[in-house]
Structure 1
Amino acid sequence: MPEDGGPPVRRSSLRQQIADALRDEVLTGRMESGRHFSVKQIAENYGVSATPVREALVDLAAQGLLEVEQHRGFQVRRFTAEDFRSLAEARVFVIEAAFRMMAEHGMGELPPQAIASVRRRAEAAARAARAGDLDVLIGCDLRFWRELTAIGGNPHINEFLDRLRVQTWIYAVPHLRAVPDLAGVCWADHVALVDAVAARDTAAARRLTLDHSTHTGALVEKLTPAHP
Structure 2
Amino acid sequence: MMPCAKLGAKNRTRRPGVDCTFESHAVYTLVGILLFNRKRRKDRNEESFRPMAPCMPVIPFVPSLREQIADRLRGDLLSGELSEGCSLGEQELSERFAVSRTPIREALQQLTYEGLLEGRRHAGVKVTRRPSDAIYEFAVTIRKSVETFALRAFFAELADSDFRQWSAILNNMQHACIARDYRSIAEHDIAFHRSIVCRAHQRELEAIWVPLLARVRTHFYETYRTNYDDPIVIYKEHAGIVDVFRAGDLDAAVLSLENNIC
TM-score w.r.t. the length of structure 2 is: 0.63
Could you tell me whether the CA contact under 8 Å between 2:69 and 2:107 is conserved in 1? Answer: yes
Structure number with greater Rg is: 2
Q: Where does the alignment leave 5 or more consecutive residues of structure 1 unmatched?
A: 1-11, 218-228
Per-residue Cα deviation, 1:191-226 (whole angstroms, up to 9, x for no partner)? 22222223321122122112212xxx3xxxxxxxxx
Equivalent position to 1:190, from 234, 238, 255: 238
Could you tell me whether the CA contact under 8 Å between 1:197 and 1:205 is conserved in 2? Answer: yes
Q: Which residue of 1 aligns with 2:104?
A: 53
Q: CA deviation at 1:26?
A: 2.1
Q: Where does the alignment leave 5 or more consecutive residues of structure 2 unmatched?
A: 1-62
Please state if 1:38 is matched with 2:109.
Answer: no
Q: Which residue of 2 aligns with 1:209?
A: 257
Instruction: Give 3-state SS (helix, strand or coil) of 2:126's partner.
Output: strand
Q: How does 1:6-21 map to 2 (within 5 A)?
A: 13-21=64-72
Q: Which residue of 1 aligns with 2:247?
A: 199
* Distance (whole Å) between structure 2 residues aligned to residue 195 and residue 202 of structure 1: 12
Q: Which moved more, 1:133-142 or 1:106-115?
A: 106-115
Please state if 1:93 is matched with 2:145.
Answer: yes
* Distance (whole Å) between structure 2 residues aligned to residue 130 and residue 88 of structure 1: 28
Count residues with an aligned counterpart: 199
RMSD, matched Cα:
3.0
Could you tell me whether the CA contact under 8 Å between 2:177 and 2:234 is conserved in 1? Answer: yes
Q: CA deviation at 1:120?
A: 2.6
* Distance (whole Å) between structure 2 residues aligned to residue 138 and residue 51 of structure 1: 29
Q: Which moved more, 1:67-76 or 1:119-128?
A: 119-128
Q: CA deviation at 1:106?
A: 8.2
Instruction: Give 3-state SS (helix, strand or coil) of 1:68's partner.
Output: strand
Q: Which residue of 1 aligns with 2:193?
A: 145
Amino acid at match of 1:121: I
Q: How does 1:64-79 map to 2 (within 5 A)?
A: 64-79=115-130
Q: CA deviation at 1:57?
A: 0.4
Q: Which residue of 2 aligns with 1:160?
A: 208
Amino acid at match of 1:66: L
Q: CA deviation at 1:147?
A: 2.0
Q: Which residue of 2 aligns with 1:24?
A: 75
Q: Which residue of 2 aligns with 1:223?
A: none
Q: 1:80 to 1:175 in 2, by over 3 A?
A: farther
* Distance (whole Å) between structure 2 residues aligned to residue 125 and residue 187 of structure 1: 6
Q: Which moved more, 1:163-172 or 1:188-197?
A: 163-172
* Distance (whole Å) between structure 1 residues aligned to residue 242 and residue 235 of structure 2: 14
Please state if 1:84 is matched with 2:136.
Answer: yes
Instruction: Give 3-state SS (helix, strand or coil) of 2:139's partner.
Output: helix
Instruction: Give 3-state SS (helix, strand or coil) of 2:155's partner.
Output: coil
